[in-house]
Homo-oligomer: A and B are copies of this chain.
Amino acid sequence: MSTALRVGWIGTGVMGAPMAGHLLAAGHPVTAYNRSKDKTDKLVAAGASYAPTPAEVAKNSDVIFTIVGFPSDVRETYLGKTGICSVLQKGQIVVDMTTSQPSLAKEIAAAAAEKGAVSLDAPVSGGQAGAEGAKLTIMVGGDAGAYEKVLPMFQKLGKSVTRLGEAGSGQHCKLVNQILIAGHMLALAESLTYAKNCGIDPTTALNAVSAGAAGSWALSNLGPRILKDDYAAGFYVDHFVKDLGIALDEAKEMKLSLPMVALAEQMYIALQAQGHGRLGTQAITKVYESIRKPSC
Q: Residues on A close to B: CB < 8 A?
A: 102, 125-127, 130, 137, 139, 160, 162, 164-165, 168-169, 172-173, 175-184, 186-188, 190-191, 193-195, 197-201, 204-209, 211-219, 221, 247, 250-251, 254-261, 263-264, 267, 288, 291-293, 296
CB distance from A270 to the nearest CB of B (A): 11
Closest B residue to A267 using CB positions:
B259
How far, in whole Å, are A268 and B206 apart by their CA atoms in the complex? 25
How far, in whole Å, are A219 and B218 apart by their CA atoms in the complex? 13
Contacts of A208 in B (CB 8 A): 137, 139, 160, 162, 164, 173, 177
A176-B209, A184-B216, A209-B177 known; A197+B296 contact, CB < 8 A: no
A160-B208, A194-B251, A201-B164 known; A177+B214 contact, CB < 8 A: yes
Contacts of A184 in B (CB 8 A): 183-184, 187, 214, 216
**8 Å CB contact of A216 from B180, B191, B257:** B180
**8 Å CB contact of A296 from B187, B193, B254:** B254
How far, in whole Å, are A215 and B182 apart by their CA atoms in the complex? 12
**Main SS of chain A's interface residues?**
helix
Question: Is B213's CB under 8 angstroms from A127's CB?
Answer: yes
Closest B residue to A295 using CB positions:
B255
Question: Is B267's CB under 8 angstroms from A213's CB?
Answer: no
Question: Is B187's CB under 8 angstroms from A260's CB?
Answer: yes
Question: Is B190's CB under 8 angstroms from A261's CB?
Answer: yes
Q: Can you give 27 A-B contacts (C-beta < 8 A)? A: A126-B212, A137-B211, A137-B212, A160-B208, A164-B208, A169-B200, A172-B199, A172-B200, A172-B205, A173-B205, A176-B198, A176-B209, A180-B191, A180-B216, A181-B213, A182-B187, A184-B214, A187-B260, A190-B259, A190-B260, A194-B251, A194-B258, A197-B256, A216-B217, A255-B292, A256-B293, A257-B288
CB distance from A223 to the nearest CB of B (A): 10
Contacts of A198 in B (CB 8 A): 102, 172, 175-176, 250, 254
CB distance from A112 to the nearest CB of B (A): 20
